[in-house]
Structure formats: structure tokens, C-alpha cells
Chains A and B, each alone.
Chain A
């Protein structure tokens, strides 16, 4: 068991592309940690750097208080599960699971016993003599997990562990993986581009973009209080409503509606400042009666979501441009298409962002001469 410390980590590829850009991160012992971000944000590079498969340009990686920055992958006491599982096609499941133990020079009987014990725990007992090609996707994934578990490492690294499974299996595997991690209590870092996966499985998560961490926190924190419009638009299965807004003395003009400016935001904004008004569809209610605090619009689309529906309202903007506001409505209250409706945001759930840098109103502005960057740079 061990914690992971990353200090001012930089990974620069030849040609000057910074996949990881002066990154600081501490992952606690036993934590299930998700690295989330769009493709190309550097999350996989970061994971591979922790594994030692990439040599970092500068910075420091510690696992369990031990500096492993320059150590070979095999000396870091980690186990990694790859996106394609990387099971060796010419070996049986038993030999696959036992292979890392063979590298560690464990005797044949001992390592086979250990492989069988681990496989039994992951209900692979009946498949030990099969080759990976004869296994289903879910079984291959469990075999790859078993191979990682059998090593008893200090840290697990999972690279998109669920993306090769079909949708149904992915949900099962999610629960399974979370329970396995809880039982073993091993510090785990996993990479995903699926925000639902990160929210569902992780204890804490980091949202990455362009080699930097944009927000770090528990799934609840990140979901309820995204610190930037980037995170706000990335998290949530229904995209967050982001509408341009302008401060007008004590009020906020959003689209054609004037709403009271939240008291908490008042000290941080100037009159006439351009903001972004943000509210999740789940935190808004749909009214058929006129409501002064609601955004008025015409129902354009109703999408059935099983429990309830997602209603898209076309709201007239100040410059004639219509914009879409989405609201979830409970089962049985779906409006007619073409009818008028008002989307009312719960005031305590509304978030305001500065339009210029996309950060939460009231947050400190990031300085142009970031000390971390200056130290890591050329």
C-alpha cells in the first residue's frame, strides 16, 4: 500500500508538445482515483509516466515515499491493466496470470498455486487452461485483472479498463471493479474518457485538459460545483446549460430574463461584467405557467430518458439568436412539442463563471507567470 506523489511533472515530446505540463498531484493510500479528460488531454501519458513506460522530462514521482522517477517500470512495484488487456495469446490463462511471478523467479508449483487461487477469487477457475482467444471480452478483462492482482503490487494502474466492453457488460464490470478495489485496498489510478465511469467508480477524480489538471475533487464536488466552464460542460450525462449573462447592477440578465444576482457573487463582479450562467438540466424545473425567474421558450425536442424526459427549450436571446436550454421533467409530465414553457433554475444550484477565463466567479485568477511553469520550463 502506498500513496503517489507527483511534483511539477513535465512530459514533453520531441517537437515541443507538452502532454503533461507542470503537474502536481497527490493520490492518497488506498484511494480509487480517476483521471478524466477528452482524448489528447495527457491523461494516458500521465498514467504511463507513473508506470515508467514514459520517461518524464522533468519533475518527480514518488510511490510510497520512494523516489521512482528514474526507476524501470519493473522496479516500481506496480501492476498495470491495458486497454486491450495485453494478454499473451500463446499462453493459457494460468500461464498468463503466473507470468509476472515467473519473472520474479517464483517456483513453478508455487506460482501456479498462486495463479489458481487468484483466478478462483475472480471466478476464472474453470477457464485456467483456455487461451485468451477463447475467452469473451469480460473474461479477458478479469484475466488481465487477475494477472495484476496476483503480483500484489503497491499500486494498480488501469488504462481505460472498461472501454473494450459492450455497454451492458461495462456497467457490471464497473461495480465489480469498484468492489475488487475496495476489498484489496490497493491505491488505484485509472484513466477514462467517460465521465459517468469516473463519477461512478472513483473516490476522487482529476479532470484534465491540455496536460494540466482543471479540477480535482470527489465526484460530488466535481459534479455539483465545476470550477470552470470546461469542467461544467464535460461532466454530467446531460450537458450543463451554459448561457451568456451580463451583470446589471443588482441583477443578472440572462437571455431576455432578468434574475436577481446571487448575494454570494455580488462582491466579486463589476457592473456590466460579462458572465456565463450555468445550471444543470437536473437542477432546473419546467413550468407551463409564466414564471418571472424562468427562461421562457418553445419546446423543441422531448427525449425520453426512461425515468423522466429531457426537454429542449428554444429560448430567444438578446441578439435574436435562439439558444437551447435543457430541463429534465419527471415521468408523465412531458410537454407538447411547440408549447410554451419556463425553465426555472434552483437559485442555490446556479453557478456563475467569468466569460473571459471561464473560471468560477470569486475564484483567484491564475497568474500569467505561473511559478510552476517557470520552474519547469526551458
Chain B
């Protein structure tokens, strides 16, 4: 009986180690390949060189593209949190018939709007609006796709805020925007933080929308520029790609750590009482 238990234990740990190794290999590649003189698709300890990074600096679009990514991500973050919070507050507090149905429909449609299927109509729409090759256009399309889910999650947070908070403030003479700013937003701050980070990550990682809507390489974000790293022979330039991938992922990881420390993530509404 004891032996069987021990063998079972060992088997369990072996299985876990295998799964962990499988998950870890891509991450290890991301950490090692950038410092490898001749990076390949296999993971091995590198001989430590900065050669790939100097190569990256020589590329005219690499660094500006990171700046563009920041612009797109922060732009959609601001738009989504501001509009999302206002809409969620209103939807949470106003009784309109079919409100929940409307929200579900929006949520459902949003996955189509940013999806590949709607790319042709979106392109045409942006063309008519003269927003082709404009970063504003990309921000609008990204935000439009993310807003329904953001409203959905934020509304849940707002629903969890007792009405008596607002009524109390109303009796003291506060107006709706004052109540939103002083009471509701601070109370739902973890929700706002979650939505903000989620939007930034989505904007940062989105490839298709900027790829289709932006023409000039100097406006392209990192996700698109990464796609242009080829050698003269048409092979993927793994040295540049790996180095750039590392630079590209650091801000997101840093932001997660910072926001989690500062605000804490929560995906459900309500307040501990």
C-alpha cells in the first residue's frame, strides 16, 4: 500500500514536471534567444551577445514602433475606461426594458466587430471616414471592439455598489457627476484597474487592425513591425525577432506587476463589508 502511494506520488510529480517543461520552453526561448549569436527555433543556453539588440537599433522602425504601440494602447485604454465607466454607471442605475438583452447582444456583436469577419466593412467604413493610415482610426476600432465587454464587467461592479451611498451623497447635495467621481469610481477602482490593464494588453497585442488600417511604416505599432523582420533571403530574422519580442513583452509584464501591487485585480463586483 505504501509503495503504491509512493509510486503514485512520483508518477504525479513526473507528469507535472513534463507539463511545466512544456510550458516553460517558449518562455526560456524568449529569455535566451535574444542573446544568442545564431538563434534558432530550439532552446539552448546562449553565448551572451548584444549583437541582436544593436541590429535592432539599426532598424529605422523598431523603436518608434514601440512608441506607437504605447500610443495605441493608452489611447484605447483612456477611451474604453472613460466611456465604459459612464455607460456602465448609467446602465446600472437606469431601468430600461430589455437592458440586459441589449448588453448581451452588444457583447456578442463585439466579438464579431473586431474579428476578422468584419474587417472588410470596417476598412470601407474607415475609408469613407478618411481614417485610413490614421492612428485615431485604429484607436476607435480597437475601443469599439473592447467597450461592450468593458461595460459588461464594469456594470457588475457598479451594481455591487449600494444605492444608499449615492442617495446619501444626493441628500447632501451632490450632483450625478460628483457622485460618480467622489463615490462610485473610488469604490469600483479595482474594476477600473482591471479594465484598464485588459484594454492596454489588448491594444498592445492587436496585430490585424493596425496591419490593415495603417499604411506608413513609421505609424505602425510593434506587433506589425515584428512581422517585417526578414533577412534578404526571405527567411525570418530570428535574431531581430527574438530581441524585439523580449523588448515588446517587458512593458506588459511590468504593468501587470505594478497594477496588481497597487490596485489588485478583481473580475467581480461588490465590496467586502
Contacts and interface: CB of A to CB of B under 8 A. Distances in A.
A37 to B, nearest CB: 21
A82 B168 contact: yes
A83 B186 CA distance: 22
Interface in B192-206: none
A104 B175 CA distance: 11
B100 interface: no
A231 B188 CA distance: 45
Interface stretch (A70-78, A110-118, A182-190): A70-78
Interface in B148-199: 162, 164-165, 167-174, 178, 182-183, 186-187, 189
Contacts of B187: 88-90
Contacts of A79: 171-172
B171 A53 contact: yes
Contact of B169 (A84, A90, A103, A104): A103
Interface in B76-111: none
Contacts of A51: 171
B interface residue count range (under 10 / 10 to 19 / 20 to 34 / 35 or more): 20 to 34
A74 B172 contact: yes
B162 A74 contact: no
Interface string A48-64: 00011100000000000
Nearest to A53: B167
A151 interface: yes
Contact of B271 (A52, A82, A89, A151): A89
Contacts of A104: 172-173
A80 interface: yes
Interface in A324-361: none
A103 B172 contact: yes
B114 to A, nearest CB: 34
A100 interface: yes
Interface residues of A, number: 24
A104 B178 CA distance: 12
Interface string B114-145: 00000000000000000000000000000000
Contacts of A74: 170-174
Nearest to B175: A74
Given A86-B167, A88-B187, A133 B272 contact: yes
Contacts of B162: 84, 86
A93 to B, nearest CB: 15
A11 to B, nearest CB: 16
A89 B273 CA distance: 9
B180 to A, nearest CB: 13
Contacts of A90: 186-187, 189
A286 interface: no
A100 B172 contact: yes
Contacts of B171: 51-53, 73-74, 78-80
Nearest to B166: A86
A79 B171 CA distance: 7
A234 interface: no
A131 to B, nearest CB: 12
A85 to B, nearest CB: 8
B168 A103 contact: no
Contact of A88 (B167, B173, B183): B183
A32 interface: no
A147 to B, nearest CB: 8
Contact of A84 (B164, B173, B178): B164
A99 interface: yes
A84 B161 CA distance: 12
Interface string B235-273: 000000000000000000000000000000000000111
Contacts of B164: 82-84, 86
Interface of B: 162, 164-165, 167-174, 178, 182-183, 186-187, 189, 271-273
Return the 6 tightest CB-CB contacts between A and B, nearest first: A74-B173, A100-B172, A86-B168, A86-B164, A90-B186, A82-B164
14 contacts: A72-B173, A83-B164, A84-B162, A86-B164, A88-B186, A88-B187, A89-B271, A90-B187, A99-B182, A100-B172, A103-B172, A103-B178, A104-B172, A104-B173
Given A86-B162, A90-B187, A90-B189, 14 more contacts: A53-B171, A73-B173, A74-B172, A74-B173, A80-B168, A82-B164, A84-B164, A88-B165, A90-B186, A100-B172, A100-B173, A104-B173, A133-B272, A133-B273
